[in-house]
Structure 1
Amino acid sequence: MSSSESIASVTGNQLPICCTCGVQYGAPRSDCPICLDERQYVGWDGQQWTSLAELRAQGRRGRLEEEGPGVLGVGVEPSVAVGQRALLIRSPSGNVLWDCVGYFDDDLAVEIEKLGGIRAIGVSHPHFYGAMTEWGRAFDVPVYVHAADRAWVGRPDPTIEYWTGDTHEIAPGMTLINAGTHFAGGTVLHWDADPEGRGALFSGDIFLVVMDRRWVSFMYSIPNFIPERPSTIRRALELVEPFSFERIYGAFWGRVVVADGEAAVRRSAERYLRFALGDGS
């Protein structure tokens, strides 16, 4: 974050944020395309908007809490919209922020600067774009979004880098993988140099860590319970197969597979496909 710039001077303070999905847009509008899509929903009281300034005035504050070795959760209290938390991956080669939230303030930025700042931001899919442009601008770092999801970006900005293909390294030992579940650009992040030396996968809800944290699932729409297509799941498995990982960090506080992550993905996919395709009893 620039030493001469405080949050109070950032132009995004008054920009609209959808109350249902938490995504910030670059100009006022009547609807939220992300919520109109069948993978999300418009709030039951109709389209509602807020802003960073309003959220701070309501008493929202940032939350930083350890989620695993070398990994800090970055969230908001009280929660905003979907309620996900981001993850600050603390690496000797520079910290990476995985996914984003629809909130940002000076205190949160200062605390993250004390931890070494951020060298890059990677985002899994549109529901977790949050205020990603605000974060990228404040820390003057690239925000990596897969080009397949470019049309969903609500606040385009030069800080956003659209990558293509199946994989893309954004920092030493940190590789984005276009798994393609949930959204065409649905992305997971692999960290091969985690402190335990076994690798870690950051999945957002592209691979959804479920309540029984030995398992994950794969959904086209999570709130509307639309299952993912078997062919898409098979492609995702092929893409992550070369990567080793013990832990899987999901989208929400505490949703972490702490052991046997590779096997958890395989057996979860096998179970899903068995039920989806009607194979076996």
Structure 2
Amino acid sequence: MTAFICATCGTQHAPSATPPARCAICEDPRQWVPAGGQAWTTMEALSRRHAIGWREVAPGLLGLGVFPDFAIGQRALLVRTPQGNVLWDCVALLDPATVALVKALGGLKAIAVSHPHFYTSMVEWARAFDCPVLLHEADRAWVMRPDPAIRFWSGEAQEVLPGLTLHRLGGHFAGGTILHRAEGPGAILTGDIASVTPDRRHISFMWSFPNWVPLPAAEVARIGAALEALEFDAIYGGWWDRVMASGGKAAARDSVARYIRALAGPEPLAP
């Protein structure tokens, strides 16, 4: 029995004798199935062609991602605190070098994942570090590999460790979550629930990014109100270059207003 990994989205599925017939994550209209059909790999095969690379993103914040890029290509963040480490979002690969490195850094107190596209091999990570995976219950149906390590939380906020709190924003998925880091001027870790744009001066929101389906204005306004209630300066998106080191609170406010203006039209959005 093998826990096969979808080559398109990176989601690891429950162990089976043969590759699954379908990937429900990819068949959902927020994602996509390649023209050539569904393809599968395994952790062993992935580790032969890829490795995990690390980079310091900010003090107490280490980025890790799969090189060369695999599936959606996101990077995760290891958040270090005096109370322990939390892995924010996840990647499909887990290799022995990464296990050794994370254990040398103190292991993991918890894993928290923003939304189903980044669930990837979260169960492998949880088992390696004997820690829980925190997911919002609204996205329970998208768990492709159930496991006792997965713990569903409900409501709008959930503390992970002192100074680290999950907030449900919804939007991209009903349980779409960000992680607020209260230390210093504050930061939010957003994956693509509130995605830092390539110009690194704005954030944006979509129901489907690859299929270019926006969110309704009322939903974006609700998300904007939730962000307004948080204190933060930096925004860390889901990819290496999607980081707003400062000015994030004002940028979020302006981005929400711009998005709603774009949906309403027809005035120009910017000079």
Range of TM-score over shorter length: over 0.9
Q: 2:196 aligns with which of 177, 184, 209?
A: 209
Task: Show structure 1 runs of 4+ deviating over 3 A.
Answer: none
Q: Which moved more, 1:216-225 or 1:74-83?
A: 74-83
Shift of residue 69, structure 1, vs aligned partner: 2.1
Q: 2:153 aligns with which of 163, 182, 185?
A: 163
Given the alignment of the two structures, is residue 139 of structure 1 paired with residue 129 of structure 2, yes or no?
Answer: yes
Q: 1:191 aligns with which of 181, 186, 191?
A: 181
Code of the residue aligned with 1:144 in structure 2: it is L
Q: Deviations over 1:57-88 (max 9, x none)?
A: 23x11111111221111111112100000000
Shift of residue 279, structure 1, vs aligned partner: 5.8
SS of residue in 2 equivalent to 1:145: strand
Shift of residue 39, structure 1, vs aligned partner: 0.4
Q: 1:71 aligns with which of 43, 47, 61?
A: 61
Shift of residue 241, structure 1, vs aligned partner: 2.0
- Kept after mapping to 2: 8 A contact 1:177/1:240: no
Q: Match for residue 32 of structure 2? A: 41
Q: Match for residue 24 of structure 1? A: 12
Q: 2:51 aligns with which of 61, 66, 71?
A: 61
Paired residues in the alignment total: 265
In 1, the alpha carbon distance for the partners of 2:95 and 2:153 equals 28
In 1, the alpha carbon distance for the partners of 2:217 and 2:108 equals 36
Q: Match for residue 177 of structure 1? A: 167
SS of residue in 2 equivalent to 1:259: coil
Shift of residue 99, structure 1, vs aligned partner: 0.2
SS of residue in 1 equivalent to 2:84: coil
Q: Deviations over 1:197-226 (max 9, x none)?
A: 111100000001111101110011000010
TM-score (norm 2): 0.95
In 2, the alpha carbon distance for the partners of 1:229 and 1:134 equals 36
Q: Match for residue 99 of structure 1? A: 89
- Kept after mapping to 1: 8 A contact 2:221/2:260: no
- Kept after mapping to 2: 8 A contact 1:89/1:98: yes
Structure 1: tracts of 5 or more residues without a match: 1-10
In 1, the alpha carbon distance for the partners of 2:132 and 2:109 equals 8
In 2, the alpha carbon distance for the partners of 1:272 and 1:232 equals 11
Q: Match for residue 233 of structure 1? A: 220
Q: Match for residue 149 of structure 1? A: 139
Structure 2: tracts of 5 or more residues without a match: none
- Kept after mapping to 2: 8 A contact 1:24/1:130: yes
Q: Deviations over 1:5-62 (max 9, x none)?
A: xxxxxx8xx311000000000134110001001100002211000010111123x111
In 2, the alpha carbon distance for the partners of 1:250 and 1:67 equals 11
SS of residue in 2 equivalent to 1:95: strand
In 2, the alpha carbon distance for the partners of 1:188 and 1:257 equals 15
RMSD of aligned C-alpha atoms?
A: 1.2
Code of the residue aligned with 1:261 in structure 2: it is G
- Kept after mapping to 2: 8 A contact 1:67/1:254: no
Shift of residue 280, structure 1, vs aligned partner: 3.4
